Chains A and B, each alone.
Chain A
């Protein structure tokens, strides 16, 4: 009797194992299909249009000081844009802060152009102000395409940001007790057809970090990392983070620092 039960159980396990194998194979096929779709979209990525707009904005004289952003220091020296995005976020001496590309642009707009950026910070997503910032971030990221991610966590403030980002990633809260790790804390899962990267692993972090800013085909919008993170917060039913605030930079730092060594593939394209 015991023996028959044992045999039955073994068969049962074998069937279960087989079923799981089939499901996985189907899942892989679906993901392959999505990859093919992304590959086809890449050829005409409308992000290029935003790169061009961003470049114009970067070179255009504006603000009370009637100056362009061309002398902006993104961490590689004044005016150096090539490769800068792959080294951000980083610590900046002049502001005594760790900044990402988007918050650094705000600094440059303030100091170089004399613009009061408060209305840029508070402007809604999709507003002309935010579209400008997104276009500039897209341009900067495009100048780091195919560059290796090398984000330092050597400075104490950088280390602190990285650790803060990690804490935020695992911080659960809100009406659904959500955290970033609810969706991005395990390997090989997806929501509908969207595979979810496992952010704490170098591969998962890179698949997120190196593909934003990205053009979202279904919405027809260009999104920078700031917007992407704000949307993560929205989906978690968290209060909306302030544009360029420490918590957003910390999460970027956590992702960028974890994906060190990967190659920037910006600007990206998403479904």
Chain B
């Protein structure tokens, strides 16, 4: 606590900690939020997708030694493939069913993928090395900061920008936004709505895979890692507003800052602040900072 007041470098480091944590979480939360925004499915299995991303990274980069970038690409591709199977094989039968059914289905996928991960990768806590170029620390003039964390802090905003351009500035993005408003009308206009659904689900799931792959060097792939991340993602998207890209971005940053500075101010009570914030949002603005209130009868 004293260090916050007396040591500006320490504050800078905490700011960087907050941003890099927030940006890693953003990549994953954005996928969850995107899928909900269009498909109206709360995908509990998103955490399991993230876990698979981390495991694929381990297999490709650590065991097969094919390199870090290959690992990220493989994780994205692997999760895209899983997404196609899950969406075509399971989800599409449930879009017009009640939300509870969808939740139960995604929960079943969580259990299934947990067991598959155990069969494929065993139960050890695995470890993924940093890529050589990002192993050390970067000199920022006033202090050194881990290069890998800096990379995360940069990659998050890039992904945000990419998603924003895709959704706000392309014809395809306009159709996607239209699908969130009224998919029956869109369908009647001759647009292939199922195609939009599947593409969105693939993109969202691939983001979970990329997030897991990027987290692997700082977050050892291990059974159960899906449960931790899904809670963090829910906190972020609820604070930011489910379905909103800006919401995920700002929510993730808020979470990063609250988590880090909470720990500095009250070292024994790290988690409580994020959840207090979550409660406040739920009470005052249940649709989140950037979300829209649900219409009646929806």
Is chain B a partner of chain A in the same complex? no
